[in-house]
Structure 1
Amino acid sequence: MNDEVSVRTAEPGDAEAVLRFWKEAAEGESVSDDLDGVGRLIERDPEALLLAETDGELVGTVIAGFDGWRCHLYRLAVSPSRRRQGVATLLLEAAERRFLELGGRRADAMVLHRNEKAHGVWGARGYRRQDEWGRWVKPLPR
């Protein structure tokens, strides 16, 4: 089925559809899951948000952010009806190509500990949990 899925970068007009899609297909919610957050991402780094589509229907997403130092992957999500059909693989291949073109050396992924279904996807692509590091967060005042 991979031959009918295409991957492209998001455009500003895609933000609402992406947010609706994440409510259906993504695990968890981010503080940036709003029109302003997605809009700023697309404006700041127009090639970071990758969309997988079939006949114009959104079936997957991944954010492939590069800050010049590290390659970060967020919001890998695939439509429940399209899982286990290679969509995540296509998205991650596109993200990794982007990183290589930008000079990236290593990619890391934000993966919820409780999202055990996702662990298999990441592991199959060669990603490993790095237990010696932990994520520290601080919400910024609005």
Structure 2
Amino acid sequence: MDDLRIRPAAPADLDAVLAFWKAAAEGTSISDDRSGVERLVARDPGALLLAERGGELVGTVIAGFDGWRCHLYRLAVHPEQRRRGIGTALLAAAEERFAALGGRRADAMVLNRNERAHHAWHAAGYAPEPQWSRWVKHLDR
């Protein structure tokens, strides 16, 4: 893992990130477009973390903090790079960010159908909270 570099995304990275998500992320979101990711990076420049190996993008996670709760989205690792500690390293970087910001609780958005991800999140110490269900409203105009 010595050659793995984790850093915040810059505006110049956004096209590569969007292309990466099409190849590596399970499913897409209404906000998976350039303007949505630009708003994220402009509002919270440290939230979108990138993992690079040899200059190539191999993983991402969005580690957002709203001042009250920590939120994790878009943990994705390139299919050919999985099971090499990249996801674990991204989560560790996200959790370090949260601790520095004063965050005390993190939740993760994980697709119900993505069973491989469920195992990875469980291994990282996250657990579903059956007493809660997530309600979503898309605010597209």
Shorter chain as denominator, the TM-score bin is: over 0.9
- Aligned counterparts of 1:4 and 1:141: Cα–Cα separation in 2: 40
What's 1:116 paired with?
115
Q: Within 5 A, what are the aligned runs for 1:59-78? A: 59-78=58-77
Q: CA deviation at 1:96?
A: 0.1
Cα offsets for 1:11-62 (capped at 9, x unmatched): 0011100000000000010111100001110000000000000111000000
1:26 aligns to what? 25
Alignment root-mean-square deviation, CA = 0.6
User: Could you tell me which amino acid in structure 2 is paired with residue 112 of structure 1?
Assistant: L
TM-score by length of 1: 0.98
Partner of 1:56: 55
Counterpart CA distance in 1 for 2:138 and 2:52 is: 33
Q: Post-superposition, which runs of at least 4 consecutive aligned residues in structure 1 deviate over 6 A? A: none
In structure 2, list runs of 5 or more residues that go unmatched: none
Q: Superposition pairs for residues 1-142 of structure 1, below 5 Å?
A: 2-142=1-141
Give the aligned residue type for 1:107: A
**1:75-109 CA deviation, whole Å, 9 max, x = no partner?**
00000000000000000000000000000001100
Q: Secondary structure at the match of 1:74?
A: strand
After TM superposition, the score normalised by the length of structure 2 is: 0.98
